[in-house]
Amino acid sequence: MPSPQGTKTHTRPIRNKLPKKFSKMKKNTPDRRTQKTKTALAEALKHLILEKGYDAITIQDIIDKANTGRSTFYSHYEGKDQLLVGNINFQQELVNPPGTIDAHPMGINLAYLFNHTQENLPLVKALLNSRGIDVITNHFTELCAAKILEHHKARPPRSKTAQRLFRYRAEAAAGGIIRMLFKWLEDGALLPAAEMITHATAILTAVADPEITG
């Protein structure tokens, strides 16, 4: 079973917003009908991944399974990659986590990240042999790096060199946490999620070097 460590990484800068390819996902609270449609599409994709694997799935497969139309699908998503990472509840919990900042280091809901993926371990393992793992790994990394940068926006590094170095550190920390997450899942999530969250928190804490953040 291939490891996420072999996945390709993006070299483009991480910004404090979702990547353009995910810009079509609605940020506002969807109405009940939209929620129902998106839930049906997400459930269809989930079942299809378990049945035939991510790479073999077509848009036609998804809309047939969800019993919806092609135009309806494209009114919400640009393709199956966006559907894969576009779960409404996930976006809300990870990008805008409820609760205090103390419960979510640098605004990242680590508890949800580790516990949610562990609860969906069969699905994650089905994705490990597909291009879908690249999509999720890169998306999670971009989200976490953006949250780190946003957290330090009020006290940015003083010099341009320090700003550049801090961005590198933010991307490295985000990438390290997500790679650790998927390696843990690939191994069957044998260690307790709470222990993994502690290690992930330590990685985030190490990013805030006083000499860099000033």
CATH of domain 4-213: 1.10.357.10
75 by Cβ neighbours in 10 Å (0-12 / 13-18 / 19+) ranks as: exposed
The confidence score (pLDDT) of residue 22 equals 47
pTM tops 0.85: no
Contact 86, 150 (CB under 8 A): no
Confidence of residue 163 (pLDDT cuts 50, 70, 90): confident
pLDDT at 3 over 60: no
E-strand spans in 67-160?
A: none
pLDDT band at 17 (very low <50, low <70, confident <90, very high): very low
Q: What is the pLDDT of residue 14?
A: 37
Average pLDDT, stretch 48-56? Answer: 96
Q: Stretch 89-93: mean pLDDT, rounded?
A: 60
pLDDT of residue 185: 96
Give the range among 19-23, 55-59, 68-72, 107-111 with minimum mean pLDDT.
19-23
Residue 152 has pLDDT above 90, yes or no: no
Query: Would you state the pLDDT for residue 104?
Result: 81
Residue 141: what pLDDT? 93
In sequence order, the 6+-apart residues with CB closer than 8 A to the CB of 102 are none
Assess contact for 199 and 180: CB atoms under 8 A.
yes
Query: What is the end-to-end Cα distance of the chain in Å, rounded?
Result: 43
Q: Estimate to the nearest angstrom the gap between the alpha carbon of 163 and the chain centroid.
A: 24
Average pLDDT, the chain: 82
Residue 139: enclosing H or E segment and its boundaries?
helix 132-151
User: In this structure, what is the dihedral angle of CA atoms 151, 93, 205, 135, given to the nearest 10 degrees?
Assistant: -90
pLDDT at position 211 is: 54
Of the pLDDT bands very low, low, confident and very high (cuts 50, 70, 90), residue 95 is: low
